[in-house]
Structure 1
Amino acid sequence: MNTDRKLAILADAAKYDASCASSGTGKRNSVGGRGIGSTEGSGICHSYAPDGRCISLLKILMTNFCQYDCLYCVNRVTSNVPRARFTVDEVVQLTLDFYRRNCIEGLFLSSGIIQSPDYTMEQVVEVARVLREVHDFRGYIHLKTIPDASPELLQRAGRYADRLSINVELPTVQGLEALAPEKDGAAIRRSMARLRVHIDDAKDAKREAAQTHVMSMPQSRPRRAVAPMFAPAGQSTQMIVGADATDDRTILSASANLYGAFKLRRVYYSAFSPIPDASSALPLAAPPMVREHRLYQADWLMRFYGFTHDEIVPPSTAGAPGMLSLDVDPKLAWALAHRDRFPVDLNTAPREMLLRVPGLGVKTVERLLVARRVRRVRSADLGRLHVPLKKVMPFVVVADHRPGRALDAGDFAARFAPAPVQASLFSA
């Protein structure tokens, strides 16, 4: 099989993994004729999943052969799909060729499990080692690590990769046991814990090296400290949404635990896509894509807006199954459910409450805090900050505006519902 055919198969096999952002790593480039590649700038190729999601490349698998039989995975051992396998040198040359053509910003590399977790992980790490040490590649590298691989291989991976990730696959242990019985949820979390320890140790070593350098050279300008690198962009994971009956409240609870226990940079949510010859244990249809979008919005509220996971989605009851609203975003849904907290006076309210006003982002809140030190905020100031006034004004008080009794109106929530879409004459 030629390289083009392998690339077609293994790039297509990798498109279901959403965790390929290059944010968070250090800045490196080849300016001055040193090395190849950069973690900055543009030049990203894209692939599209069947449900329309845009996914960055060069994103490939070493191989889509796999000895596991995870029911939700198109590459499972019993799946009837074309198979291919790259050598280490082929992945290295593809990465360099695509980068020289300005098609990509780096490499996202994962793999099916062949022979053993250690053997597979050795192949993945060797690609990163050759790129870094032989070709002085300075672009971004994200490696998908194998949970059951030895700690020594995980440690080696962190020396060459900007980011490492281990997929928890499903939000609950019960879901993993039902749909991927060969995978060990405890082993996945042990590997995450090891990565956190290595990342924390590398940060501590860098901090100590910087302090030592400054103290030893007090009369000169200190140079950047040199310390062993270990995955400077941290670690991430991915959950499949909609492959089982887990509700959104449980998903967000699992994400909050992962953020707290392992200091993850991101939890990615991937809406389940039906696969050929699927098991009867899987749903026949994909969940609505807006559900994935709402989970990302809720995740943002936990990470940047001070919300806790248990207040974003109400507890499950007979009439409410613990799901995010698909009609309005989670922040607006929370505000509508807590009208007694509003309106908020933008000239006196603390930062924590300003962040809960629908339509106000983190940067806008920071600008408001600076502006109100000088004078009282007015409606025109909000317009200059380009906030969505229709969404914001019913929830705030400013020097020249009060919303009156709008929040008490019985049809207030209906004003934010999406407009009905006219049915086509040719719709089924």
Structure 2
Amino acid sequence: MHSQVSTPSGKKPVLKAMITTACERDCFYCPFRAGRNKTQRITFSPDEMATTFQSLARAKVVDGLFLSSGIIKGSVTTQDKIIDTAEILRRKHRYRGYIHLKIMPGAEYDQIRRAMQLADRVSVNLEGATESRLRALAPKKDYWNELIQRLQWISQLREREGIRSSVVTQFVVGAVGDTDLELLLTSEKLYQQLGLKRAYYSSFHPVSQTPFENLAASSLTREFRLYQAGFLLRDYGWQVEDFAFDGGAKLPLDIDPKQAWAEKNLRDAPVEVNRASRLELLRVPGIGPKAADAILQARGIRKLTDVAQLHALASATAAKAVPYLLLDGRQPYRQLALFA
């Protein structure tokens, strides 16, 4: 299948493919787990996969490849096939477009290096936020030795050898009692310590003929709140301690995390637009990096005194920001009605 995927050069229609849908592992949530007879098992050779993708790329059906696989004959053998496919595309077909390669649990150091040399992006899916959560999801996976160590190697290769391939990970949300606090703490460490490009949060949905088939699906609203919080960690200078969690260490579902913080901290102490730092502006709901930069540039030319000026700088989100702002010492509630 193919879908729109965010890449360093913007969104692209990317083919999501697997070398094989067969797998030796029996992860409890996965439709491709060993022993599930409802799954059709299909296997491609590296040359078949590369040729199929190249024909779709030439027809402009897709503009990138995300290649994963089930594990057959061990992780090292499977990783070789993923790498071989990328080698064929880069060398034989002279493909210069976007490639994202999955790193198999337990892949070798030199394999990871070669995958990063060939790919724009690689991924190591932690699935669980902690060792115990992963054990409940996938008992045969080793959290530290198969997954975290691979993320550390990727960070080392980027730092020591200057390989530019970015790295992402994914978590399964809501199947085994995981909390938002756990997920965000792990995400924060990966962003700060290992240079993670992005954490993906995938709401659990039960699959028939798996041990989790009778579990309830996880809330898509919860997934959305995790993404909002994750972006605040990655792009806005937030820390996990800034978020409001309920008694179960979950984010509130009825309000976005940024607005929840603003209601507590800015409602009675609004931010003065003409003096605030970039980080202070980024704390205000409705003000993102582009709007913050536009405000900083505009106030260097003249003082911002009314909502019309703010609306011109951030037209789509000015209404959301205004309750938490001062414009030249005044709260601009009444002016806002003109632009409602």
TM norm structure 1: 0.73
Alignment of 1:23 onto 2:19: no
Alignment of 1:335 onto 2:267: no
Q: Which amino acid aligns with 1:381?
A: Q
| Structure 1 unaligned residues grouped into runs of 5+ | 1-10, 25-39, 45-56, 204-229, 405-428
Alignment of 1:379 onto 2:307: yes
Distance in structure 1 (CA, Å) of the matches to 2:324 and 2:12: 42
| Equivalent in the alignment of 2:31 | 74
Distance in structure 1 (CA, Å) of the matches to 2:280 and 2:263: 15
Which of 203, 212, 217 pairs up with 1:286?
Answer: 217
CA deviation digits over 1:35-88, x for unaligned, max 9?
xxxxx68762xxxxxxxxxxxx31111001110110011100021221111111
Distance in structure 1 (CA, Å) of the matches to 2:27 and 2:229: 28
| Structure 2 unaligned residues grouped into runs of 5+ | 334-340
Alignment of 1:300 onto 2:231: yes
> 1:332, CA displacement in angstroms?
0.3
| Equivalent in the alignment of 1:321 | 248
Runs (4+) off by over 3 Å: 40-43
Question: Secondary structure of the equivalent of 2:100?
Answer: strand
Distance in structure 2 (CA, Å) of the matches to 1:402 and 1:369: 19
Aligned residues: 329
Alignment of 1:358 onto 2:281: no
Contact 2:86 2:118 in 1 (8 A): yes
Which of 283, 288, 294 pairs up with 1:367?
Answer: 294
TM norm structure 2: 0.91
Contact 1:360 1:387 in 2 (8 A): no
Distance in structure 1 (CA, Å) of the matches to 2:184 and 2:214: 21
Distance in structure 2 (CA, Å) of the matches to 1:397 and 1:322: 33
Which of 180, 183, 191 pairs up with 2:141?
Answer: 183
Q: Which amino acid aligns with 1:124?
A: I
Distance in structure 1 (CA, Å) of the matches to 2:320 and 2:108: 52
Contact 2:158 2:165 in 1 (8 A): no
> 1:22, CA displacement in angstroms?
5.0
Alignment of 1:124 onto 2:56: no
Alignment of 1:274 onto 2:233: no
Equivalences for residues 104-115 of structure 1 within 5 A: 104-115=62-73
Alignment of 1:200 onto 2:200: no
| Equivalent in the alignment of 1:263 | 195
Alignment of 1:96 onto 2:54: yes
Equivalent pairs: percent with the same residue?
36
Distance in structure 1 (CA, Å) of the matches to 2:113 and 2:319: 51
Question: Secondary structure of the equivalent of 2:48?
Answer: helix
Which has more radius of gyration? 1
CA gap of 1:309–1:41, structure 2 versus 1, over 3 A, is closer
Structure 1 vs Structure 2 CA RMSD: 2.1
> 1:277, CA displacement in angstroms?
2.0
| Equivalent in the alignment of 2:323 | 394
> 1:374, CA displacement in angstroms?
1.8
Contact 1:43 1:102 in 2 (8 A): no
Contact 2:181 2:240 in 1 (8 A): yes
